[in-house]
Amino acid sequence: MTAPESDSTIDPEALRRRAEKALRTARDRTHTLTTCVDEPDLTAQHSPLMSPLVWDLAHIGNQEEQWLLRAVGGRDALRPEIDSIYDAFEHPRAERPTLPLLAPAEARGYVHEVRGRVLDILERIELRGAPLVDAGFAFGMIAQHEQQHDETMLITHQLRRGPAALTAPPPPDADGGAALPEEVLVPAGPFTMGTSAEPWALDNERPAHHRLVPAFHIDTTPVTNGAYERFIADGGYTEQRWWTADGWAYVQEHGLAAPLFWRREGGQWLRRRFGVTEPVPPEEPVVHVSWYEADAYARWAGRRLPTEEEWEKAARHDPESGRSRRYPWGDEDPTPEHANLGQRHLRPAAAGSYPRGASPLGVRQLIGDVWEWTSSDFLPYPGFRAFPYREYSEVFFGPNHKVLRGGSFAVDEVACRGTFRNWDLPVRRQIFSGFRTARDAT
């Protein structure tokens, strides 16, 4: 087992405050997502693909108790009898409503008690000397875990039927997006993929290693709704030649004809977004498409999905210095001027937005807005070691899951960076997934 590397130059108090801020930010968002609807909506299962919101709430607290109170703090278990109820591997989502779940008030009390004790531990513990606490890793891991479940709960809100419960301002307008080139050439050559130095990077992002990538072209922005509408209008869902065999079978079995939440009415495409029905905005990146749909579009367009290494090179590699950045724009943490993150806008920004977030080669919106499907299977990097438990990454490695990169508008910055890897089954459409395409340089 290999623990994350720690940085002895990090000020311990600054690290403590960073961990506390990440935990509090996640909890504020959890509070928003679980107080904006009434109790029946918290306990209902809005889709067999998702847990009841109240399960996610108590699961967040249970993971925090197990890792930060028990494993890091050495405290006695508060509620050991609920460990199996909130074990995500023991109980598939479809059966979770049948479990003896904590009621909403009890779940809130539980997560509040756990958090109070965790903050007490954080104030007293030395953040070095053991793998879980070096550089505050376990605290960062739990903050990321909560934010990942916040994104999951936001997906549940999107699937929920009924009036809007969440509101947010629209994202900023694109700045010069219409004048951007359609694609960018990424020159051939080596680059450093993954990380061995990011303190809170998770095991599947490690270790840093060199990759030699041939030259390729990649879309400057994610594929838009308007472009995807042209694929639909040209018979994209009725022409078998664009689809893999599994993808075509899935289209036929489920009668797919457009992205999830779209419907045709009065000669235009409409979509349902967090309880509001609205015209599909042509300038926004398409969202709620499966890997099969992304792959079919790319074939129709005479292109392909980028590999995971191509995506990361486009996002991180600086040709001038030869080094890999933390983010496309540099090493500094994201700001609202860099990327659409953190549920700030509840929708993707128009293609071409966030010029300050562009990569050295001018590729935009690689972080935030929509998760981007790649052509790659989810596999370990050379030298991978599971830490701190196999079930986070290792059990998912193989050809069944495809890699997504870049994060979405629903992702918080603590759980999103240039090395962060997401993965899911190629049929998944409820997630905030889009894509961009690539082609070989010839």
Annotated binding site for Fe cation: 59, 145, 149
The rounded distance, in Å, linking the Cα atoms of 17 and 102 is 31
How far apart (Å, rounded) are the C-alpha atoms in residues 370 and 372? Answer: 6
Distance CA 372, CA 354 (A): 17
Binding residue ranges: 59, 93-96, 145, 149, 424, 428
DSSP 31: H
Between CA 113 and CA 121, with CA 115 as vertex, the angle to 5 degrees is 110
Measured torsion, CA atoms of residues 7, 10, 16, 21, in degrees rounded to the nearest 10? -100
- Region of residue 235 (left: phi > 0; alpha: psi -120 to 50; beta: else): left
Helix 12-35 to helix 137-159 angle, to the nearest 10 degrees? 20
Known binding-site residue numbers for gamma-L-glutamyl-L-cysteine: 93-96, 424, 428
Q: In what order do the strands lie in the sheet with 438-440?
A: 183-186, 216-219, 438-440
The alpha carbon of residue 356 and the mean position of all alpha carbons in its chain are separated, in whole angstroms, by 21
343: left (phi over 0), alpha (psi -120 to 50) or beta: left
Amino acid at 63: Q
